[in-house]
Structure 1
Amino acid sequence: MNPLEIELGPMESFPQFPAEVILEDIPYWLVRTTEGEYRLLLAICPHAGGEIRPLNDVLFCPLHFWTFNSENGVCLNDPDEKLMQRKVELRENLLYAVGHNH
């Protein structure tokens, strides 16, 4: 296994998306895109460090009411801002976080 890979678990462990995941003591939301890809979006707002939570079909920061696209993490209030993310791969029914945040 690649040292930059962390097993998240089998697909059955995530019956709903976004799914809350703690990885190396960092909170993320595991999301599935309409294209069927998976990614981890950092659950900490880049603006003021608020805790990102799902709200309807977006991710929401209650500190200053910023909202983020729940598939790609782009901020809907300021498109120059976005949530850090980490790539996720599905192999043999197991999800793996791969690489670093970007």
Structure 2
Amino acid sequence: MNEERYPIDLGPSSLYASLPAEITVEGSPYWLVRDPEGEYRLLMAVCPHAGGDVRPHEDIFYCPLHFWTFHGKTGGCLSDPGHRLAYRKVAVNNERLYASAELH
């Protein structure tokens, strides 16, 4: 693991037995999820359409402002495929989670 690329220590993976988990990183809200391949990812909890707080509901996330919905594991927009939730990659090292500095 490159520590320059993944400098944000999220703590031990055992803290996140139940996903999605709400996390604040550098003052911004995120949801920690695992994608279909089992990789962790931090999805920004702010809607790219209207800036509303994105909330989980069953297997999706939704924005209550205009009801845009997002895939619960990848953050892809189900309402408009041209959009998605911003995200940070997460690496696992010695059973600890580390988030990337780069926002995608």
**What residue identity is the alignment partner of 2:10?**
L
> Please, what is the CA RMSD of the aligned residues?
1.1
Q: Deviations over 1:45-79 (max 9, x none)?
A: 00000000100100110000010001111110000
Q: Which has the higher strand share?
A: 1
Alpha-carbon shift at residue 34 of structure 1 (Å) = 2.4
Q: CA deviation at 1:3?
A: 6.8
In 2, the alpha carbon distance for the partners of 1:38 and 1:53 equals 18
Match of 1:97 in 2: 99
Match of 2:9 among 4, 7, 10: 7
Deviation >3 Å, runs of 4+: none
Q: Give the gaps of 5 or more residues in structure 1.
A: none
Query: 1:14-93 residue pairs with structure 2 within 5 A?
Result: 14-93=16-95
Amino acid at match of 1:53: R
The structure-2 alpha-carbon separation of the partners of 1:3 and 1:89, relative to structure 1 and needing over 3 Å to count, comes to closer
Q: Whole-Å Cα distance in 1 between the matches of residues 73 and 30 of structure 2?
A: 13
Structure 2 residue identity aligned to 1:74: G
Matched-pair identity in %:
51
Structure 2 residue runs without a partner (length 5+):
none
Rounded to whole Å, the distance in 2 between the matches of 1:67 and 1:23 is 23
Equivalent AA in structure 1 for residue 97 of structure 2: L
Give the partner amino acid of 2:26: E
Alignment check: 8 A CA contact 2:54 2:64 kept: yes
